[in-house]
Amino acid sequence: MTPIWHALATNLAVAALFFALWALAQPLLEDQRRPARHLALGVSMGIGAVTSMLLSVELQPGMFVDLRSSMIAVAGFFGGPVAALVAGAMAALYRVSVGGPGAVAGLTVIGLAALIGIAGSLLRRGKPVTAGGILALGAAVSIINFVAISSLPIAAEVVSRFGISLSLLAFVATVVAGLFIHVGSRLARDRVLLRAALTQAPDFHYLKDPASRFTAVNQSVTTFNGYARPADMIGKTDFDLTDAERAERLYAKEQEIMRTGRPQLDLEERLVDDEGTEQWFSTSKVPLRDADGEIIGLAGVTRDITARRRLEAELTDSRNLLSYAVSEMSDGLAMFDRAGHLVYCNDRYRSMFPLTSEERRLGSNIRDILKAVVEKGEQLNLGDPDKWINDVITSMQVNGEEQVSLLDGRWLQVRTRPTLDGASLVVVSDVTSMKKAEAELMTLTGQLQVLASTDALTGLMNRRAFDAAIGEEVERSERNRRPLSLVLCDVDRFKTYNDDYGHQAGDECLRAVARCLKGALLRHDDMAVRYGGEEFAALLPNTDEDSANIIAERVRSSLFDLGLQHTRSEHGVVTVSAGISTYPGRARRRSAEQLVARADVALYDAKAAGRNRVTGWRPTPEARRARLSG
């Protein structure tokens, strides 16, 4: 190999050496900011370019060739304008100091290499470096080297002999440099990312050697143990951080992990600080092995789970409280999922259905439960069993409320509330006592209604009941084209009877008249009324005038036959006079007021005719309307 080729090979080796040294030096600059790293790259590549020129090949006196352009271009490509300018300036100063006829060409190559590197950096625009970009950079550098040699005033034989070879060497040097720096940068970024993740993670991350000494910790571990920097904890053990008993326990467990190779996963530990505050931690520790499989230490991660444990404790307390409340509540509670399966029920729910309590177990389907209800006859008034089962299942999908009666006489109120996910909540309440109270209230209300409509002395319906009934009967008779009759009765000379025999005898007399009136009525729909004082009435639906006359005559004759002594009466005994008014079925216009008025006219006609008689209303001019004293 000629001296020139020796020099070129040495130049390539020196360039590769500088590239490798820079790749190794990158971890030392990881903590520096980007401008400082770019400046360091420019200085390093500038020194490399000067070194390459020191070992350059002198083709002719004052004309040198070397690999300076590769270093300057790589500096610009990876470090941007700052690195390119620094490296280019260092190389240019040295080339000017050397001088010679090739100085201009050398400075031109330096400038072009710097521009190529800067252009490549700007074209990337912060994007990751690719293999294609490195190859393109190498090609550009090889071209400017070939052009530079070709422009030198040297023999064509020299250009052809060394120009292509130098260009190829420049291409190789540039590509090798790019790969070295690219791989080194990527590894550096990975290290920075990993270190940032460990340092800034909220959990406690740490590494220990076989003697359980800390070899690396993150900032969370450092702060928790009261130190300022992670480096302050290197070489310390748990005996330096906690009480002896706990430290001995931790040490023994870690030695067991490294002896057996079995990891410790999610071990929870409770700690109480000097102020009595309780803290919980979850710790996982795994053994670390080298390439030969030998255990060289362990890695640990500890997480503060105090908030989680407190939340779990609160949740447990709430669940226990809810469970107690549900189990002790007087209502039955059940939850069915969207498919109709029983997923929850309290004991009260099952006890409310003693005949089907066994069927109401978790997992049972509502259809099977309802079939058991039908088979055992637990619920009354179901109607068609299949329709009832389908209706109940359908009703569980809507808000509903129903009262059901059971075979044992109890009443239950069943309320259903569907949930958003298609499930159904069923609440069952025992309303037996309420239903009994309701029945008693209805009975009492009925009794009060009877008392309110009954005359206390005679037991007949009173005037209030009569006024309510006559209007309805008039409307009904008009609507159905049926006859309606009214009989008004008045005890003759009752005032003098009271004066002569006293009020007690008078009350007994009225009761006797009431019995006669009530006994004269023929049908259930007929209504016997104490109209007021000594006046009585009989409201007779579906009764024509002849039938009403018969009834009135029966009242009159039965009272007369009693023979109640009345010395100041024309007849020597207590008698009644009666007036009748009737709407025949053909009557078109009817009113309660008119019916009463006509009966009243007929009554006074009976009294005017000598008392103790029955008179029907007639629309004749001869009808007398004279009012006689009682």
> Backbone phi, then psi, for 628, in 5-degree steps?
-100, 150
Q: What integer is the mean pLDDT of 543-559?
A: 93
Beta bridge partners of 596: none
Q: Per residue in 400-427, pLDDT tens? A: 888 888 888 888 988 898 888 888 988 8
Amino acid at 96: V
Q: How confident is the model at residue 629 (pLDDT cuts 50, 70, 90)?
A: very low
Q: Contact 573/566 with Cβ under 8 angstroms?
A: yes
**Following CA atoms 153, 159, 162, 164 in sequence, which dihedral angle do they give, to the nearest 10 degrees?**
130
Q: Between these two residues, 7 and 515, which has the higher pLDDT value?
A: 515
Whole-number average pLDDT of the chain: 82
Please, what sign has the CA dihedral across residues 93, 97, 98, 100?
A: positive
Contacts of 477 (CB under 8 A, 6+ apart): 483, 484, 541, 542, 583, 585, 590
Residue 345: per-residue pLDDT: 86
Task: State yes or no: pLDDT of 553 exceeds 60.
Answer: yes
Q: Per residue in 438-475, pLDDT tens? A: 767 676 655 566 656 788 889 898 998 899 899 999 99
Residue 408: per-residue pLDDT: 85
Q: How confident is the model at residue 502 (pLDDT cuts 50, 70, 90)?
A: very high
Residue 135: per-residue pLDDT: 85
Model pTM score: 0.39
> Backbone phi, then psi, for 138, in 5-degree steps?
-60, -40
Q: What integer is the mean pLDDT of 238-256?
A: 91
Question: What is the length of the chain?
Answer: 630
Task: State yes or no: pLDDT of 628 exceeds 50.
Answer: no
Find the helix or strand (DSSP H, E) in which 25 lies: helix 3-25
Q: What integer is the mean pLDDT of 136-157?
A: 72
Task: State yes or no: pLDDT of 3 exceeds 80.
Answer: no
Q: Between these two residues, 373 and 188, which has the higher pLDDT value?
A: 373
Strand 576-583 to 614-616 pairing: parallel
How would you class 413 by CB atoms within 10 Å of its CB: exposed for 0-12, middle for 13-18, buried for 19 or more?
Answer: middle
> Backbone phi, then psi, for 460, in 5-degree steps?
-85, 170
- 41-45, 148-152, 553-557: lowest mean pLDDT where? 148-152
Q: Between these two residues, 110 and 284, which has the higher pLDDT value?
A: 284
Q: Per residue in 185-195, pLDDT tens? A: 666 665 556 56
Q: Per residue in 69-99, pLDDT tens? A: 888 888 888 788 888 898 889 988 988 888 7
Q: Which whole-number Å values give the CA distances from 534 to 6, 18, 537, in the listed order? A: 156, 140, 10
Q: Please indicate whether residue 157 is annotated as part of the active site.
A: no
Task: State yes or no: pLDDT of 630 exceeds 50.
Answer: no
Contacts by 556-559, CB closer than 8 A, 24 or more apart: 556/489, 556/612, 556/613, 556/614, 558/516, 558/519, 558/520, 559/512, 559/513, 559/516
Q: What integer is the mean pLDDT of 575-589?
A: 92
Residue 205: per-residue pLDDT: 87
157 torsion bin: left (phi>0), alpha (psi -120 to 50), beta (else): alpha
- 24-33, 169-178, 245-254, 607-616: lowest mean pLDDT where? 24-33
Give the C-alpha separation, 601 to 583, whole Å.
15
Residue 626: per-residue pLDDT: 38
Catalytic residue among 478, 534, 535, 622: 534
Domains for the chain: give ranges and CATH numbers. Answer: 3-197 (1.10.1760), 204-309 (3.30.450.20), 329-435 (3.30.450.20), 454-616 (3.30.70.270)
Q: Which residue has the tokens 């080298």?
A: 290
Residue 1: per-residue pLDDT: 40
Task: State yes or no: pLDDT of 7 exceeds 70.
Answer: no
Tell me what percent of the residues of the chain surpass a pLDDT of 70. Answer: 82
Residue 286: per-residue pLDDT: 92
Give the C-alpha separation, 518 to 512, whole Å.
10
Give the C-alpha separation, 19 to 14, whole Å.
9
